[in-house]
Structure 1
Amino acid sequence: MKKIIIFGTGELAQRIFFYLQDSDDQIIAFCANKSKIDKDELLGLPVHAFENIEEKFPPNEFSMFIALAYSEMNKKRTKFFNEAKKKGYELYSYIHPSTKIWNKFEIGENCFILANNVIQPFVKIGNNVLIGSNNLISHNTSIGDNCFITSNVTMGGHIVMGKNCFVGLSSTINQRIKIGNECIIGSGTIISKNTNDSEVYATNSSKKLPQSSDQISDMI
């Protein structure tokens, strides 16, 4: 059983607290920068200052998870990942038991993979990667450090994704595609060609029809 300190007190940190209730590991406390702490307790656990967290919870006895989302192209999460490593902490990774994985799967530190994903053989996931639910990550695909994959994403085989990318809901990346660093792939987008660094892809918004729902109800 690992004893875990969660960095962060926001919505993601609180959700992760509940996700881990079903694991064999134990959350001991939350932490954040001293200037961001506005209460001493969260979800029944103490909140401590990150600046001197190692004095209360020695890195040789506790692990840490950086529970920050994708703000600033995941750079804020990356910053505190690096700072926690400098303090000597092992960064905790979690895979929900309903996610299907095979042998020949590699995963880094500070990764969190939620329910009902299918991750095929020979997939490599870097450090500090968050993956939502119901995704397909196909064989021989590589996801770089510090990425955020939302939910219902389909990734073909032999994809190479760079660092600090964001992939939106229900998007598709075709096989053998290379995604540059710090790319944003918006919800519902289909990527069929290689991308360069820092590019943004989005679909057009849904079209509003002139008819009301009553007028077309017989057509449904």
Structure 2
Amino acid sequence: MVFRPVCLRPHRRPPTNQTASHPSQQIHSIQHLSGRTLSSKAFVWRNVELGEHCFIMENNVVQPFVKVGSNVIMWSGNHIGHHSTIGENVFLSSHVVVSGFCKIGRNTFLGVNTTLANNVTVGDDNWTGPGVTLMNDTEPAALYPAKSEEPSKVSALRFFKVRVGT
């Protein structure tokens, strides 16, 4: 995984004479930065390293010294804590909270409202359902069903169309 530092600042539109009467009528601008897409409503600190082809939606907060791998999608409302690392091909659903010093492995899906405590390492090929709170490190290919702290006996690889590795 190659990290290329990028200076990101939230894009602000110049003021116009037109005002939207309702928040749903406001148009959010999107920045396209060298294969990375960043919503104007996302806040990414300047000292964050983003991989290629990242997509960061609105209301995401990415704190300093975070490293994000290639092909990462962060849906809306996530919080990524300082000094965390997100591997390649990771999908973060809405309202995921990643505390500081966490590491998320490659090919991982974190469901809605998933929470990671400080210093937690999520293994490669993991899948979490909605509302899962992870307090301890996980094994590779673990599946955590909704609101569970214990992994399922079923491998998470069962839910991926393409098997990783041989």
Q: TM-score, normalised by structure 2?
A: 0.68
Matched, 1:100 2:107: no
Partner of 1:154: 97
Alignment partner of 1:197: what SS? coil
Q: Map 1:10-159 onto structure 2 (within 5 A).
A: 22-23=29-30, 92-159=35-102
1:171 positional shift = 1.0
Q: Find the aligned partners of 2:68 and 2:55 in 1 and give their Cα distance.
A: 11
Q: Find the aligned partners of 1:190 and 1:106 in 2 and give their Cα distance.
A: 26
Task: Could you list the structure 1 runs, at least 4 aligned residues long, displaced by more than 3 angstroms after superposition.
Answer: 21-25
Letter in 2 for 1:103: R
1:93 positional shift = 1.0
Q: Find the aligned partners of 1:24 and 1:181 in 2 and give their Cα distance.
A: 30
Partner of 1:56: none
Q: Find the aligned partners of 2:126 and 2:45 in 1 and give their Cα distance.
A: 28
Q: Find the aligned partners of 1:107 and 1:24 in 2 and give their Cα distance.
A: 14
Root mean square deviation, CA, Å: 2.2
Q: Find the aligned partners of 1:169 and 1:204 in 2 and give their Cα distance.
A: 10
- Deviation readout 1:179-211 (Å, 9 max, x if unpaired): 100000111000001001000012359xxxxxx
> Which has the greater radius of gyration?
1
Partner of 2:146: 203
1:114 positional shift = 0.1
Q: Find the aligned partners of 2:84 and 2:57 in 1 and give their Cα distance.
A: 18
Percent identity reads 33
Give the gaps of 5 or more residues in structure 2: 1-27, 149-166
Letter in 2 for 1:106: E
Q: Find the aligned partners of 1:110 and 1:163 in 2 and give their Cα distance.
A: 15
Alignment partner of 1:128: what SS? coil
Partner of 2:155: none
Structure showing the higher helix proportion among its residues: 1
- Deviation readout 1:28-70 (Å, 9 max, x if unpaired): xxxxxxxxxxxxxxxxxxxxxxxxxxxxxxxxxxx9xxxxxxx
1:24 positional shift = 6.2
- Greater RCO (CA < 8 Å, at least 6 residues apart): 2
Matched, 1:182 2:128: no
Which stretch of structure 1 is more off in the superposition, 99-108 or 123-132? 99-108
Give the gaps of 5 or more residues in structure 1: 1-20, 26-62, 64-90, 206-220
1:22 positional shift = 3.2
Distance 1:24 1:143, change over 3 A: closer
